Structure 1
Amino acid sequence: MKLTRKRSTYSLLLITVMIAALLSACGKDEAKSTSAADSNDTSAQSSDANSDPISIKIADIISNPVFRIAKTQGFFDKYGIDAQIVTFATPAEGINSLFIKQADVAFGADFPVLNAVSKGDYSVIAATGTNTDIAAAQWKLFVGPDIQSAADLKGKKLSTLRGTFLPYLWDEYLKENGVAAADTKQIGQGGYDEAYVALKKGEIDATWVVGSAMVEKFTAIEGVHELTDMSKTSVRIGGGIIAPNSLVKEHPTAVANFLRAIDEATKFITDNPEKTADILFEEVKQPKESTLRDLPTNNWEIGFKQESFDSLSSQKKYMIEAGIIKDDFDLASKISLDPIKQAAPDRVTYGK
C-alpha cells in the first residue's frame, strides 16, 4: 500500500515537472517570437524613418521652442533629418529667406505665408494650430503717454513690421474703432528691437508686440503703456509651415518625417516645460520665465483644419483688395497636405 502511494506521488511529481518544463518552453518560444516581432517592427520603423534622409535649413525665431527641441532632443535625427536652424528677427523674414535659398522650410502667420505662395512655387504643408483667442491675447498694443484710446491714434505714427500681418491688424483695429487708416502713418520696421528704440525715442507712437520677454521690455519704457490686445479685435491669425514645391515633390517621405519630428517635439514640450525653458536659455539665451509664460500659446498642434483654410482665404481676400497681392491665385492649389496626412491624419479635417 505504501509502495503504491509512493509510486503515485512520484508519478504526480514527474507529470508536474514535465508540464512546467513544457509551459516554460512555450513561454520562451512565445517570448522569442514576440521579441523577433518587436525587432522586426523596430527595424521597419527605423527603415521607414531613414528611407529618405535629408539635410535642410529651417528658418526660426528665438522664442519658438518647437524646432530647437526637435533638434536638441534628437527627433530630427530619429527621422534621418540633418537639420540646421537659421535664426531671424521675425517669421516673415524667415519666409522671405526661402526666396534666396537661405532656408528650405519656414513658418509664419497667414499674411507672410500667403505673400510667399502668391509669388512662387511654394506650398503650405501644415498649420501650426495657433489661431486661438488665447494666442490673440498675447499680442499687446503699446502706445505713448498721450494715447488713451483708439481715437487718439489719428494722425499718429504706427509701427508695422515689414512683411508681417500687422498692416491687416492695424486696418481692422482702426476700422472697428472708427479711425481711418489713411489718417495715420504706418512706419515699416525690421523687428521688435527697432520698434523698441523708435517708441522709446518718440519716433513712433504705437506698436504691436508679442512674447513675454518683449512685452516685459516694452512695459519698462517710461511713459509707455498697454492700450489693448488683439483678442479684443476680430482678428485671429493662423500659422502655417511652408516649403518649396520641389522639396515636397522630391522628398515626400522626408517632409512627412519632418512633420512627425515636429509633432514629437511638441509632445515633449508639453510634458517637459521646465527642461524646454532650460534648453531655450542654453541655445538662444531666452529667459526661462519668459519661455514658461509663452509655452501655452507658443507650442504647436500641427494639422490642417477647415478653419485654417478659412483664415488663409479671409486674409488672401484682404491682401488682394489692398493691392498687397497683385495677381489672384487658387488658394487650394497652394496647399500640399499629403505629408501632414501621413504624420497626423486625425488632425486633417480640411476637405472632409
Structure 2
Amino acid sequence: MKKPVWLIVLFFGFIALSACQNSENKPSLSLSQDGELPPLEETAKVVIAEDGSASGAGFYIAKDKGYFEKYNIEVEFATFGNSDEMLPAVASGEVDVAGGISSASFFNSIAQGIDVRFIADKGHNNEGSAYFSFVVREDLQNEITDYADIEGKKIAVSTRNAVDDYIFHEMVKHAGVSTDNVEFVLMSDFGNMMSAMGNRQIDLALQIEPLITQGENEKIHQRFGDTTDYAPEAQIAMVLGSPNFLNERRDVAVRFMVAYLEAVRDYNDVFVKNEGDQEEIISIMSNHTALKDKDLWKQVGVTGLNPDGFIFEEDVKKQYEFYKENGAIKGELDLEEIIDMTLVEEAINIIGTYED
C-alpha cells in the first residue's frame, strides 16, 4: 500500500530534526589536516572582566604566552567596582567573559533576570594546600589541634551567605560541633583578620592566600587542617560567559576556551606537577596580580584550576540549597540551564584531556 505523501515528508523531517539534535554536542569546527584548530580568519576581540585575582591565571598566561593570539583573538581586560555592575555587562554582551564568586547575592542577580552561564572552573582548593582555608592563632596551635577543639572559640569569616559561610558550616559540621557553640565573627577584610589574630581578638579565621603564608612566616597564625578535609569539592569561583558569546560567537568562544585550557595546563604543570617553566609562569602571575614577591609564589597554596575546565556541579547545587535554607535566595533558578559545560567539552574534544 502506498503511504500518503504527507506521512513520508513528516518521516524525513523527523529524521533531519533528530540528526540536528544529535549533532548539537559535537564539535562544530573543522580541524586542519595536521589536527590543529586553525585561527580565525579575522581578528576577534574578547572582553574579560578581571580584577587581578590569582584565579584569573588562565587568562593572564594565555595572553602573555600568545595562546589567544595564536587563534587570532585579541583580549581586553575590563574592571568593575562590584558584581552589581559586572553581571549586567556580561548579560548584555558588553563583556564576553568574567569571574563569579559563589554567593546568595550572585545567584539572586541571576534569578532576577541577569542572563549568564557558568562555563568553566575558576577556583577550587587543591588537596593538602588549600588557598582558602582556616588558620589558628599561633599561641593556640597546641590547644586547638583537632576540629572538635573549636568548641567555644571565636571564628572570623568574611561573608554571610556566600562560599565562606558555606565552608564555615561544613567545617563546624565536620567537627561535630553545633554552630550555637562557636562564635561566628563577621570580618569582611582579610587583612583585619591578621590584625585581630595579633591582638588576640579571635581564635581562628577563614583566611586566603597569600595572607595564609604571610601570617605563618610572621608567626601570627598557622594553618588549621585543610579545607579539602570537609569540603573537598567546594566550588569557589566560576568562569562566566555571555549568551551572545556562547551562541552568536561560538567559533570565537571555542578557540578562547582552548587557549584558556592550554594556559591552565601550564599553570598546573608548574604548581601541581612541579614541571614546566616555573620562572616564566611565576613572572606572569606576579605581573598581573597583587602578589609581586616571586619567592612567595613558591610557598603559597595556589588557587586550584581544573585543567579540563569542569566545575564541581553538585557542589554548586549544594551551595545554592544552603543559601535557600538560610532564606537568602529570592526566586528560583534552573541550575541545569545556567551550568553550561558544552564549551569545555568541545575544547577537550580538540586538545584532549589533561594527563595527571
Aligned 8 A contact 1:151 1:178 in 2: no
52, 56, 59: which one aligns with 2:50: 59
Aligned 8 A contact 1:142 1:226 in 2: yes
199, 215, 218: which one aligns with 1:218: 215
Aligned equivalent of 2:307: 301
SS in 2 for 1:324: coil
**TM alignment of 1:1-352, pairs within 5 A:** 45-47=38-40, 50=42, 53-64=44-55, 65-86=57-78, 98-99=86-87, 101=89, 104-108=96-100, 110-111=102-103, 114=107, 117-119=110-112, 120-128=114-122, 130=124, 133-134=127-128, 137-144=130-137, 145-146=139-140, 148=144, 149=146, 150-154=148-152, 156-161=154-159, 164-211=162-209, 213-222=210-219, 224-238=221-235, 239-269=237-267, 270=269, 271-284=276-289, 285-293=291-299, 298-304=304-310, 308-345=312-349
- Bigger mean CA offset, 125-134 vs 262-271: 125-134
Higher relative contact order (CA 8 A, sep 6+): 2
1:265-299, Cα deviation, whole Å (9 max, x unpaired): 12344332221112223344532233344587645
1:208-229, Cα deviation, whole Å (9 max, x unpaired): 2243x32221214555333322
Larger Cα Rg: Structure 1 or Structure 2? 1
Aligned 8 A contact 2:154 2:203 in 1: yes
- Bigger mean CA offset, 96-105 vs 283-292: 96-105
- Kindly indicate which of the two structures has a greater share of residues assigned to helix: 1
Shift of 1:167: 0.4
User: Against the structure 1 CA distance between its residues 180 and 296, is the aligned structure 2 distance closer, same or farther, given a 3 Å change threshold?
Assistant: closer
Shift of 1:261: 1.5
SS in 2 for 1:254: helix
1:142-182, Cα deviation, whole Å (9 max, x unpaired): 12335625444526242224674110111121122233224
Shift of 1:321: 1.3
Q: 1-side partners of 2:284 and 2:254: how far apart?
A: 25
1:297-344, Cα deviation, whole Å (9 max, x unpaired): 645413337xx2222222222221122323232210112333323322
SS in 2 for 1:121: coil
Shift of 1:259: 1.0
Aligned equivalent of 1:25: none
Supply the RMSD in Å over aligned alpha carbons. 3.8
The letter of the residue matching 2:87 is F
Aligned 8 A contact 1:237 1:311 in 2: yes
SS in 2 for 1:259: helix
The letter of the residue matching 1:217 is Q
- Bigger mean CA offset, 309-318 vs 187-196: 187-196
User: Against the structure 1 CA distance between its residues 339 and 232, is the aligned structure 2 distance closer, same or farther, given a 3 Å change threshold?
Assistant: closer
SS in 1 for 2:158: strand
Residue segments in structure 2 that go unaligned for 5+ positions in a row: 1-30, 270-275
**How many equivalent residue pairs?**
302
Aligned equivalent of 1:4: none
Aligned 8 A contact 1:304 1:348 in 2: no
Aligned 8 A contact 2:254 2:343 in 1: yes
SS in 1 for 2:328: coil
Shift of 1:97: 5.0
Shift of 1:258: 1.9
Q: 2-side partners of 1:94 and 1:134: how far apart?
A: 31
1:213-249, Cα deviation, whole Å (9 max, x unpaired): 3222121455533332212224421352112334333
Q: 2-side partners of 1:210 and 1:253: how far apart?
A: 37
Residue segments in structure 1 that go unaligned for 5+ positions in a row: 1-37
User: Against the structure 1 CA distance between its residues 107 and 340, is the aligned structure 2 distance closer, same or farther, given a 3 Å change threshold?
Assistant: same
